[in-house]
A and B are shown apart, each in its own frame.
Chain A
């Protein structure tokens, strides 16, 4: 599965366009991370727990994106975009979307 945020792939033609595919994941942090985060809110600096949390949930959203694209028979996802929103305190939604295509 080729995932790219470009719209064209060199030397390969798009033979079939399958429309938009998407994947999303909502994660909340656990209490230990929250305590560390409130300490870091006083001292400043990187919130390592949050960085990990968000990259994990991004991985999961991308897995779902891939699974959806595979289920409709695509072999590549082009023009992939990421989007983040926070739905509740401490929980973040990661949303990934792109165009599923069949490359020759």
Chain B
């Protein structure tokens, strides 16, 4: 019994320290790459710009699967009991969406696209149906990249 409590506490401490470190590292990397890709506009509109340029179009997508750490899952369980904002999952989803968007943008940028149209998000929780907590989510971002024709 006492060993079980020690084990859970150890997992909480390890999850908190490493999880916080990894999350900060991830946010730093997200901010850096967002700055680098800022010049590529991403729009949710379906209509092409009427600028007289002829474009070639291709489907681009980016996906990512991210999990929360043990400590945050513990916090979320508490939130489930008391209600209120589940901040630990908010940051998980925020990270996943921004990361998926960045991967899509970098795929578009590598093909010299000038614009990405009709961007859609698709979210799936992988552990759904297994009876355990949500824990990890997969986010897919996809859209149509417009590449100016070099004629």
Q: Which positions 33-49 of chain A face chain B at CB distance < 8 Å? A: 37, 40-48
Known: A5-B142, A55-B63, A89-B129. A44 touches B124 (CB 8 A): no
**Contacts of A54 on B, CB cut-off 8 Å?**
63, 65, 138, 140
B contact residues vs A (CB 8 Å cutoff): 11, 14-15, 18-19, 22-23, 26, 46, 48, 54-55, 57-59, 61, 63-70, 72-73, 99, 117-118, 120, 122-130, 135-136, 138, 140, 142-144
Whole-angstrom distance between the Cβ of A35 and the nearest chain B Cβ: 14
Q: DSSP majority for the B interface?
A: strand
**Contacts of A7 on B, CB cut-off 8 Å?**
46
Chain A, residues 67-83, CB within 8 Å of chain B (1/0): the string is 00000000000001111
CB distance A51 to B59 under 8 Å? no
Contact of B126 (CB < 8 Å), options: A9, A58, A92: A92
Known: A5-B143, A7-B46. A51 touches B120 (CB 8 A): no
A contact residues vs B (CB 8 Å cutoff): 2-11, 37, 40-48, 50-51, 54-55, 58, 80-90, 92
The CA of A9 and the CA of B19, in the complex, are separated in Å by: 45
CB distance B128 to A86 under 8 Å? yes
Given contacts A5-B144, A86-B129, 18 further A-B contacts (CB under 8 A): A4-B144, A5-B120, A6-B46, A6-B57, A8-B46, A9-B57, A40-B67, A41-B68, A41-B73, A41-B135, A44-B18, A44-B19, A44-B72, A46-B67, A47-B66, A54-B65, A85-B124, A86-B126
**Contacts of B59 on A, CB cut-off 8 Å?**
3-5, 80
CB distance B14 to A45 under 8 Å? no
Contact of A41 (CB < 8 Å), options: B46, B57, B122, B136: B136
**Contacts of B22 on A, CB cut-off 8 Å?**
43-45
Whole-angstrom distance between the Cβ of A67 and the nearest chain B Cβ: 17
The CA of A10 and the CA of B117, in the complex, are separated in Å by: 13
Residue contacts A-B, CB under 8 angstroms, 21 given? A3-B58, A10-B48, A40-B67, A41-B67, A41-B68, A42-B11, A43-B18, A43-B22, A44-B22, A44-B66, A44-B68, A44-B70, A45-B67, A45-B69, A47-B65, A48-B65, A50-B138, A84-B123, A84-B138, A85-B124, A89-B127
